[in-house]
Amino acid sequence: MKRLFTFISVFSLCLRCTAEALFSPTWGFSLDIPVGLELTEGDGTNSFTFQSPQGMSLSLKVYPQAASALSIARDTQSRLRSSGQTSPFTYDGKPAAFLELQFQNITGWGLVLALDTEIHLLALAYGPARSTHLQTLYLAALNALAPTSRSQLLPGPVIEYLYPRTERKQVALFGTEQRALVFTNDASAAQALIDLEYTLLTQYQSSPLWTQAWTRFYRVIHRDSFDRLAHIAFILEREWRGPALDFAERALKWVQSFAYERDLSLTKSDFVNLVSAATEGRGDCDSRSLLWALLLEQADIPAGIMVSAQFSHACGIADIEAAGAHFPWNGTDWLVAETIADVAIGRIAASMSEISEWIGIVFD
């Protein structure tokens, strides 16, 4: 990440790199770039090309004036002499297009997203056709694009293309008498995103960038889940209204009541998508901790999670003044919430209390 930031600083007026994402102040789009990609080409304003050590390329180009997303997609396919298909769809209420790239010995995928009424972003993720293992990286990189500030808290465009949210349904919230609205495919879409990102995460297991990739994994799930859980969070906030500490305690008791669920096969993620966790009352420590933190965030209480590879565990953290165990991270003393054991907020097992074995992940 240090090399990436050094290179991007040349274009500091046009593209900023933060701990969470790349952001273009000129055009307003952002990208939670997969770990390890580095900026190699571009003018710093309208075009950027990133490459991975595995041979994947990600090219971004801004079209300040264009007829439509579909016309850009078709023109791109024509210029590349690509035999892939082009499919229109809608993202965040605006016309968009999804491209399948097949030209020469290159395969990949692409997106055209609206940044404004007449401003579009073309993104192409591609590499050698023989490198089939890169397909996950292509889709994860494209899905990490947020064309506007609003879409930074919406499901990514690839998942939205594959699982469009069109109809809502009422669902019962586990352990309560409350019901909330979700889209019919929210749970399956959220799980597909988790499966995609977990497949990508496993590619970093022996990499020195493992911690950064692990942190990004939770950030991407948080982004995908935030809007899916908006009405659930609203209903529970209304049910548990009160001071921040009271709300946090009631939310904690709720997730602590879930059934413990973990897949030890390591063939897939044991992270239960947060829609299923909230409606079916099941999940491991990280699913419960992220759900708890997201509920607090939607109630305007700063929150996040802390994770430990050493302890194979996750807890919630919140910026709330209260007695108990606290976790210092990024200048804030966070109150700890153990989401698996039936203990009060601010309690954590002494065997897991070594601060240096934990990392914090916050999302604002």
Q: Which CATH number covers residue 264? A: 3.10.620
128 and 203 assigned to the same domain: no
119 and 225 assigned to the same domain: no
CA distances from 15 to 38, 44, 198, 363 (A): 13, 7, 28, 20
267 and 206 assigned to the same domain: yes
**How confident is the model at residue 313, as a pLDDT?**
96
The parent domain of residue 312 ranges over 168-362
180 and 90 assigned to the same domain: no
Chain center to CA of 247: 25
**How confident is the model at residue 263, as a pLDDT?**
60
In a domain, 157, yes or no: no
In a domain, 16, yes or no: yes
Express each pLDDT in 143-199 by its tens digit. 999 999 999 999 999 999 999 999 999 999 999 999 999 999 999 999 999 999 999
183 and 317 assigned to the same domain: yes
247 and 354 assigned to the same domain: yes
198 and 132 assigned to the same domain: no
In a domain, 161, yes or no: no
Residues of the chain with pLDDT under 50: 1-19
72 and 196 assigned to the same domain: no
241 and 340 assigned to the same domain: yes
In a domain, 124, yes or no: yes
Cα dihedral sign for 155, 160, 162, 163?
positive
144 and 273 assigned to the same domain: no
Number of domains observed in the structure of the chain: 2
Express each pLDDT in 300-343 by its tens digit. 999 999 999 999 999 999 999 999 999 999 999 999 999 999 99
Q: Rounded to an integer, what distance in angstroms lies between the CA atom of residue 139 and that of residue 147?
A: 16
216 and 354 assigned to the same domain: yes
From start to end of 273-325, where are the E strands? 282-283, 303-308, 313-318
Could you tell me if 53 and 20 are in contact, meaning their C-beta atoms sit under 8 angstroms apart? no
- Dihedral of CA atoms 327, 201, 111, 192 in degrees, nearest 10, equals -90
**How confident is the model at residue 1, as a pLDDT?**
25
- For the record, the structure tokens of 166 come out as 């069109």
**How confident is the model at residue 16, as a pLDDT?**
45
Cα dihedral sign for 359, 325, 335, 177?
positive
**How confident is the model at residue 265, as a pLDDT?**
53
141 and 6 assigned to the same domain: yes
Consecutive H or E run containing 42: strand 38-42
